[in-house]
Structure 1
Amino acid sequence: MSVARSNPRSVLEQVLAVLPGELARSLQGLSDDLLDELEEIRLRAGQPLELCLRQRPAFLAEDGELTQSPHRGVRVSADELAQVLQRLTQFSRYAVEEDMRHGYVTLPGGHRVGIAGRAVVEAGHVRAFRHVTSLNVRISRDHPGAAASVMPFLYDRVSRRPLSSLIVSPPQCGKTTLVRDVARRFSYGDFALVDPGLKVAVIDERSEIAGSVDGIPQFDLGPRADVLDGCPKAEGMMMAIRSLSPHVVVTDEIGRMEDAEAVLEASLAGVAVVATAHAASLDAWRRRPWMERLFSARAFDRYIVLSRRHGPGTVEAVLDAEGRPLRRGGAEAR
Structure 2
Amino acid sequence: MKNRLFKRLKTIMVLSLFFCILFLACSYLYIKEGHVMEEKEIGIYENILEYISLELSHTLKKIPNKYKKNVEEIRLRYGSPLNIYSNNSDFFVTKDGLLTRNKKDGRLVDKREIIETFQLVSNYSVYAFEEEIKNGFITLRGGHRVGIGGKVLYGPNGIETIRDISSLNMRIAREKIGVSEKLIKYIIDFSHTIYDTLIVSPPQCGKTTILRDLIRILSNGSKDLGGKGMKVGVIDERSELAGMYNGMPQFDIGLRTDVLDGCNKKDGTIMLIRAMSPDIVAMDEIGSINDVDAIHEALKAGVKIIATIHGSTLEDLVSKKSLRMLIEDKIFKRYIFLDNSKGVGTVKDIIEGDSFTSII
Please report the TM-score for the alignment, with normalisation by the length of structure 1: 0.90
1:319 aligns with 2:355: no
Question: Are 2:296 and 1:283 equivalent residues in the alignment?
Answer: no
Of 129-138 and 260-269, deviating more is 129-138
1:254-276: per-residue Cα shift (whole Å, max 9, x none)?
12222111111111211111111
| Structure 2 gap segments, 5+ residues each | 1-35
What CA distance in whole angstroms lies between the structure 2 residues aligned with 1:279 and 1:104?
23
2:29 matched residue in structure 1? none
Aligned partner of 1:262 among 291, 294, 297: 294
What is the distance in 2 between the residues matched to 1:128 and 1:102?
9
Q: Which residue, out of 118, 125, 132, partners 1:99?
A: 132
Does structure 1 residue 170 correspond to structure 2 residue 202? Answer: yes
- How far, CA to CA, are the matches of 1:220 and 1:5 in structure 2? 17
SS in 1 for 2:321: coil
My pick for the range that moved more, 101-110 or 143-152, is 101-110
1:95 deviates by: 2.8
Determine helix, strand or coil for the equivalent of 1:79: helix
> Within the alignment, does 1:27 sit opposite 2:71 as a pair?
no
Q: Going by fraction, where is helix more abundant, 1 or 2?
A: 2
For residues 198-227 of structure 1, what are the alpha-carbon distances to aligned partners after superposition, in whole Å with 9 as ceiling and x for unaligned? 111111122111111111111111211112
- Identify the residue that residue 308 of structure 1 maps to in structure 2: 340
Cα separation, 2, equivalents of 1:238 and 1:32: 46
The answer to whether 1:226 aligns with 2:236 is no
Q: Bigger shift: 274-283 or 257-266? A: 274-283
Distance verdict in 2 for CA 1:101–1:323, change over 3 Å: farther
> Relative to structure 2, which stretch is displaced further, 298-307 or 122-131?
122-131
SS of 2:51's partner is: coil
Higher deviation after alignment, 37-46 or 292-301: 292-301
Instruction: Spell out, residue by residue over 1:156-200, the C-alpha distance to the aligned partner (whole angstroms, 9 max, x if none).
Output: 1x2111111111112111011000000001011122444221111
**Structure 1: distance between partners of 2:138 and 2:355:** 35
Assess if the C-alpha contact under 8 Å between 1:263 and 1:299 holds in 2. Answer: no
Q: Is the CA contact (8 Å cut-off) linking 1:5 and 1:142 kept in structure 2?
A: no
Single out whichever of 307-316 and 65-74 deviates more from structure 2: 65-74
Gaps of 5+ in 1: 329-334
Larger Rg, first or second structure (1 or 2):
2
SS at match of 1:142: coil
Q: CA deviation at 1:126?
A: 4.2
Q: How far has the Cα of 1:56 moved from its partner?
A: 2.2
Q: Is the 8 A contact 1:104 1:113 kept in 2?
A: yes
Match of 1:73 among 106, 111, 127: 106
Moved more, 67-76 or 147-156: 67-76
Instruction: State the distance in 1 between where 2:180 and 2:68 align.
Output: 23
- State the shift of 1:282 in Å: 2.4
Residues 323 and 285 of structure 1: CA distance in aligned 2, closer, same or farther (over 3 Å): farther
Match in the other structure for 1:184: 216
Matches within 5 A, 1:51-200: 51-122=84-155, 125-156=158-189, 158-200=190-232
Answer whether contact 2:77 2:166 (CA < 8 A) is retained: yes
Distance in 1 (CA, whole Å) between partners of 2:339 and 2:333 is 20
What amino acid is the match of 2:176?
Answer: H
The CA distance in 2 between the partners of 1:276 and 1:298, in whole Å, is: 16
Q: Is the 8 A contact 1:106 1:206 kept in 2?
A: no
**Identical pairs, percent:** 39
CA spacing shift, 1:43–1:195, aligned 2, 3 Å: same
Kindly indicate whether the alpha-carbon contact (under 8 Å) linking 1:14 and 1:109 is maintained by their aligned counterparts in 2.
no
Please report how far the alpha carbon of residue 297 of structure 1 lies from its aligned counterpart in structure 2 after TM superposition: 3.1
Residue of structure 1 in register with 2:324 after alignment: 292
How far apart are residue 104 of structure 1 and its match? 2.3
Number of the residue aligned with 1:331: none
Q: Which has the higher contact order (CA 8 A, sep 6+)?
A: 1
Counterpart position of 2:44: 11
Question: How many pairs align?
Answer: 324
Distance 1:95 1:129, change over 3 A: same
User: Aligned Cα RMSD in Å?
Assistant: 2.2
Letter in 2 for 1:114: G
Gap change, CA 1:275 and 1:133, over 3 Å in 2: same
Deviation by residue 1:119-153 (Cα, 9 ceiling, x = unmatched): 32456954432222211112211111111221111
Amino acid at match of 2:118: L
Aligned counterpart in structure 2 of residue 250 of structure 1, from 240, 259, 282: 282
Which residue is equivalent to 1:332? none
